[in-house]
Amino acid sequence: MGILLTGGTVVTAADTYYADVRLEGEQITAIGHHIAQPGDEVVDVAGCYLFPGGIDPHTHFDLPIGTMRTADSFTSGSKAALIGGTTTIIDYATQFKGESLGKGLSNWQSLAQGNCYTDFGFHMAITDWNEAIARQMKVLVEEQGISSFKLYMAYKNVLQVDDGALLAAFQQAAKCGAILCLHCENGDVIDTLVRQAVSQGQTAPRYHAASRPALVEEEATKRAILLARMAGAPLYVVHLTCAGALAAVEEAKRQGQPVYAETCPQYLLLDESYYNQNGFEGAKYVISPPLRSKDNQPVLWQGLTNHMLDTVATDHCSFNFTGQKELGLHDFSKIPNGMAGVETRLSLLYTYGVTGGRINLNQFVALTATNAAKVFGLYPRKGTIAVGSDADITVWDPCYEGIISAQTQAQRVDYSPFEGFVQKGRAKYVYLRGHLAACEGQLIASQADGQYLQRSPFRTGIL
Ligand code: URP
Ligand code: ZN
Ligand code: ZN
């Protein structure tokens, strides 16, 4: 006995068409008309779109920062993801100084396993580079299905690695079928600018943005692209925010270099004026890279339209305003960096992208699911609606209208960066591997049975 979703419009990265979709067990078993089998549960989805379940390739759930942890755990973060129409997350497991990659990975596996409501994979963040770590990268690709690694060009003395390590990591990635995800900001320059600001008494949240100008991102993005080219390795630029960095990515793509880039709803919809709010409110928007001047936004939207940006992720890294952001009340450099977004990614991109006339439905699917599945070795199991793919389907009601608010969110954090934003459309039903997991803003899944996803090695030419 299966489930027949009938009367809806199937949307993939390539097609839009009317068809019924039949789910049986954990997979999609038929697409078309007159495909019902005796005993099927028939679900009327007339008027709705059927999108592949969203894939958010950039989350930080349960991330320890000093003595704190992010407000959202795997449990609360993944519930919020499902409610918003995202069925797979790829979180950043982190190797801290002195740890092996295997140890870092097992730390994150024990946080997620049995606690995650979505399916999940990990990128492995490397913060301590040496020859042994290079060998461990290969083991992780071959034995653990970890085909992407993150390195930070920022967060000096904490997460940042130097250019020598970056080059060596790119060389190793090219050898072992991995892609590097890079946080592109020049950490040394930021360190100097932060010290200068604080020593001059410039301690309010707006100086976070002032000490991380767009040029430090542009410089680091260009350097990352050149290092990747020297090593003949693929590169995925995380959370790209500004025109200068995008121009560098465009130039690399035009030259045929395997460079991919992600942006996030906050960079498309919020701008640096949010740092000038009364009192300490600006701390809610202390993220890295910071929000930019408004003139970057049309350039980023254009990047989504013309395929120069490949994914829209969230960089969900939530901290409560009370008790966590407040640690930087007298010094912006002590404000934990990050904000929430996993729950609102699809609705924001649908509202301001699709109904705003900036991207079409197929681009919406490519940006929210298909491209991430392809770059990160999950396609075609995830990221599309096809016979044999996992039955991860987000049934989207385009007629819903609402207002985003912390009062109604599932994310376990005490504010919403998008408070008051209009939301058009929402996930009506969310199926994860054939089971109804969320319905109209409510979690249905009774247990956190998200599966760990072993991912395939990176292959060039996939996008
Ligand atoms: O401010 C942010 N983005 N925090 C999360 C860590 C990162 O840089 O991705
Ligand atoms: Zn980052
Ligand atoms: Zn991040």
The residues pairing with 65 across neighbouring beta strands, listed in sequence order, are: 68
Beta strands at 54-59 and 41-44: parallel, antiparallel or unpaired = unpaired
Q: Report the pLDDT value the prediction gives residue 331, as an integer from 0 to 100.
A: 98
Range 401-405 contact pairs with CB under 8 angstroms and sequence separation of 24 or more: 402/426, 404/344, 404/347, 404/348
Give start and end residues of each alpha helix (H) in 15-88: 74-83
Secondary structure letter of residue 458 according to DSSP: P
Residue 166: how many other CB atoms lie within 10 Å = 23
Ligand 1: does its nearest atom lie under 6 Å from the Cβ of 206?
Answer: no
CB of 209 closer than 6 angstroms to any ligand 1 atom: no
Instruction: Indicate whether 89 and 16 sit together in one domain.
Output: no
Host H or E run for residue 182: strand 179-183
* CB of 311 closer than 6 angstroms to any ligand 1 atom: no
CA distance 308 to 321: 34
Euclidean distance between CA atoms 454 and 434, whole angstroms: 19
> Closest Cα to residue 338, out of 1, 2, 60, 83?
60
| Residue in 211, 317, 413 to alter for ligand 1 test, most ligand atoms within 8 A of Cβ | 317
Average pLDDT for the chain: 98
Residue 25 CA to ligand 2 centre (angstroms): 37
360 with 429, same domain: the answer is no
The answer to whether the CB of 455 is under 6 A from ligand 1 is no
Helix or strand or coil: residue 113?
A: coil
Of the listed ligands, the closest to the CA of 183 is 2
Q: What is the pLDDT of residues 22-45, one digit of tens each?
A: 999 999 999 999 999 999 999 999
410 within a domain of the structure (yes/no):
no
Average pLDDT of span 347-366 = 98
Dist. CA 395 → ligand 1 center (Å): 30
The whole-angstrom separation of Cα 175 and Cα 135 is: 11
Domain tally, the chain: 2
Would 463 be classed as within a structural domain? no
- Say if 402 falls within a structural domain: no
Any ligand 1 atom below 6 A from CB of 317 = yes
At residue 17, the pLDDT reads 98
Quote the CA–CA distance of 15 and 246 in Å, as a whole number: 27
- State the CB neighbour count (10 A cutoff) for residue 365: 27
Same domain for 28 and 82, yes or no, is: no
Residue 255 lies in a domain: yes
Q: Give me the pLDDT at residue 67, please.
A: 87
Among 317, 340, 375, the domain-final residue is: 375
Instruction: Supply the CATH number for residue 229's domain.
Output: 3.20.20.140
CATH number at residue 18: 2.30.40.10
Q: How far apart are CA 160 and CA 445, in angstroms?
A: 39
Tens digits of residue pLDDT in 230-275: 999 999 999 999 999 999 999 999 999 999 999 999 999 999 999 9
Cβ of 325 less than 6 Å from ligand 1: no
Percent of the chain with pLDDT over 70: 100
Measured from the CB, is residue 288 less than 6 Å from ligand 1? yes
What gap in Å lies between CA 352 and CA 457, rounded to an integer? 34
- Identify whether the C-beta of residue 378 lies closer than 8 Å to the C-beta of residue 392: no
For ligand 1, atom 9, the nearest C-alpha belongs to 315
Q: Quick one: 57 and 47 in the same domain?
A: no
Q: Are 120 and 69 members of one domain?
A: yes
pLDDT digits over 151-161, tens only?
Answer: 999 999 999 99
Q: Which two tokens stand for residue 98?
A: 């002195």
Helix residue ranges per DSSP H, 43-162: 74-83, 101-112, 131-144
CB 416 within 8 A of CB 340: yes
399 φ/ψ angles, rounded to the nearest 5 degrees: -90, -15
pLDDT digits (tens, 9 = 90+) for 283-295: 999 999 999 999 9
Residues 23 and 130 in one domain: no
Ligand nearest to the CA of 287: 1
Using the mean position of ligand 3's atoms as its centre, give its distance from the Cα of residue 288 in Å: 8
Residue type, 240: L
Which among 239, 103, 124, 204 is positioned nearest to 172, based on CA atoms?
A: 124
Substitution site in 288, 292, 314, 342 for ligand 1 pocket (most atoms within 8 Å of beta carbon): 288
- Residue 462 within a domain: no
Query: What distance in angstroms lies between residue 338's CA and the mean position of ligand 1's atoms?
Result: 5
In this structure, is residue 36 part of a structural domain? yes
- What Rg do the C-alpha atoms of the chain give, in angstroms? 21
Q: Residue of the nearest CA to atom 5 in ligand 1?
A: 338
At residue 423 the predicted structure's pLDDT band, cuts being 50, 70 and 90, is very high
Nearest residue CA, atom 7 of ligand 1?
288
Give the separation between CA 112 and CA 451, rounded to whole angstroms.
9
Find out whether the beta carbon of 315 lies less than 6 Å from any atom of ligand 1.
Answer: yes
Alpha carbon of 339 to ligand 3 centroid (Å): 10
Same domain, 277 and 338: yes
Are residue 229 and residue 86 in the same domain, yes or no? yes
What is the Cα–Cα distance from 271 to 76, expressed in whole angstroms? Answer: 27
Residues 143 and 262 in one domain: yes
Determine if ligand 1 sits within 6 Å of the CB of residue 60: yes
Q: Contact, 211 vs 197, CB < 8 A?
A: yes
Distance 4 CA to ligand 2 centre (A): 41
The residue whose CA is least distant from atom 4 of ligand 1 is 338
Looking at ligand 1, which atom is closest to the CA of residue 60?
Answer: 5
In short, whether 338's Cβ falls inside 6 Å of ligand 1 is yes
Please give the torsion angle defined by the CA atoms of residues 164, 166, 169 and 173, in that order, rounded to the nearest 10 degrees: -140
Note whether residue 32 is domain-resident: yes
CA distance 219 to 233: 19
- 150 CA → ligand 2 middle, Å: 9
In the chain, what percentage of residues exceed pLDDT 90?
Answer: 98
Do residues 34 and 57 share a domain? Answer: no
Gap between the Cα atoms of 171 and 443, Å rounded: 43
Q: Are residues 12 and 110 in the same domain?
A: no
C-alpha span between 137 and 148 (Å, rounded): 9
Q: Is the CB of 125 under 6 A from ligand 1?
A: no
Q: Which atom of ligand 1 is nearest to the CA of 238?
A: 9
Q: Give the tens place of pLDDT for each residue, 391-409.
A: 999 999 999 999 999 999 9
Nearest CA to ligand 1 atom 2: 338
pLDDT band at 66 (very low <50, low <70, confident <90, very high): confident
Establish if 172 belongs to a structural domain.
yes
pTM strictly above 0.85: yes
Closest listed ligand to the CA of 313: 3
DSSP string over 351-404: IIIITTTSS-HHHHHIIIIIHHHHHTT-TTTSSS--TTSB--EEEEEEEEEEE-
Take residue 13 and report the two structure tokens written for it. 């990265």
CB atoms inside a 10 Å sphere around CB 67: 6
Q: How far apart are the C-alpha atoms of 55 and 378, rounded to whole Å?
A: 10
Which structural domain, as residue segments, surrounds residue 323? Answer: 53-375
For the cut 90, the answer to whether the pLDDT of residue 350 exceeds it is yes
What the block records as the tokens of 72 is: 């959202």
Judge if 27 and 176 occupy the same domain: no
Q: Is 287 in the pocket of ligand 1 (CB under 6 A)?
A: yes
Give 318-343 pLDDT, tens digit per residue. Answer: 999 999 999 999 999 999 999 999 99
